[in-house]
Structure 1
Amino acid sequence: MLIYQNLTQHIQDYFKTLKRTNSFYQRIFNGTLTAAELACFLQNVSFLTAHTPEHLTLAATTARAQGHEPLAHYFEEKFREEVGHDQWGIEDVAALRKRFPITQDQIGIVSEMQVLVASNEAMILRDPFQYFIYILYAEYFTVLAGPTCVRAIENNSKIPPGMMTIISKHAELDQHHIAEWAKDAEEVGLNSAHCAAYRKVLDGIMDRYSLFCEALTRPHEKAA
């Protein structure tokens, strides 16, 4: 439980900072976020989500090769829960493009997302326990930030929540996952003595996510 409390508090502090300092999140909450920016975000999140089954398979193989059988089993169980979720985002983007004037060149995969995906793979090969930390971040952050952001976008940018289902559906599913995370952390073998190292892993993950979000607003800042 100590590891869970330590890392989730770190993620909560990060979200507070993100809302205050990250241009993409500032635009969500001040009402200037455009449908094109949201579509680009969802397109990139779908790209990331499409890689999740592949990364979970690699993580299970790597963990087993390193003798971490409980961790390998965790990744295999997680794989069965995650297949096909990128389709939610694909459908969201299609709905947004049907309603708003969004061009294909506005929803490309940004290089910062490519870096994030490549970094996840490198993390797995270096130490699959770090990917376990990534999963906590991805799920806890989605539950923490997702519903708040969907409501803000609906209220401020007048975009229906039905066009953000990859966020809302993950937030609903991940509530159950994070409730079990403290037990899972103990079962796979995380050690509370290493919390500082786990927070450092989180810092790298969160830095890459912040850079990705900033990249989404860059074209709009130039236009302004």
Structure 2
Amino acid sequence: MTSPEGTPANKKTAAETAEDVNARHSKKMAKIKTARDKMMAGKEGDKGLLIVHTGPGKGKSSSGFGMILRCIAHEMPCAVVQFIKGSWDTGERRIIEAHFSELCEFHAMGEGFTWETQDRERDVAMAAKGWEKAKELIRDPRNRLVLLDEINIALRYDYLDIAEVVAFLTSEKPPLTHVVMTGRNAKPELIEVADLVTEMTLIKHPFRSGIKAQPGVEF
């Protein structure tokens, strides 16, 4: 079928439809840009954030180390304190200690997961030692970001006093220092004072299918 001008009718209709779609898209994006520009106009200044990554899903520590990598890329001094995975030979620990130790201090304070040590007094002592190091690093204004990896687990088992942790973070943290805290079951008190809280939701995990933790994915 052809139009009176000799152009196939379906080709002309298709061209007009594409133009209509593009016009609607441009109009929609213009409205979004106007709204975004208006929203951003009201934002000013920088602030050191308290960031919590929690929930049963995978990705809490991975996200934290992603931010550490960003700091390193921007040549911003940063630090890591690991509260639980201290005995693990992790990829992130290898690369930071081997190549970026001048920008990022890495302190592995734990001696394994709590069910491996089966020694509460030892776990409490190691958690306390990790927290003292964390406070030292956070107090240092040169550190723009401090990652407290798996601190939520230490808090969950009451190896650390949540009231003392919250009091320190809200009163002694330098104003431009970011602190990232990872681990399942974040305490409500920590969530309350945090600026950013993300809950990782578990939908599927290979461990449930009999697949063990693997280098490059879990560590």
State the TM-score bracket (shorter-chain normalisation): under 0.3
Q: Which one has the bigger strand percentage?
A: 2
With normalisation by structure 2, the TM-score equals 0.27
With normalisation by structure 1, the TM-score equals 0.27
Q: Which of 1 and 2 has greater Rg?
A: 2
Q: Which one has the bigger helix percentage?
A: 1
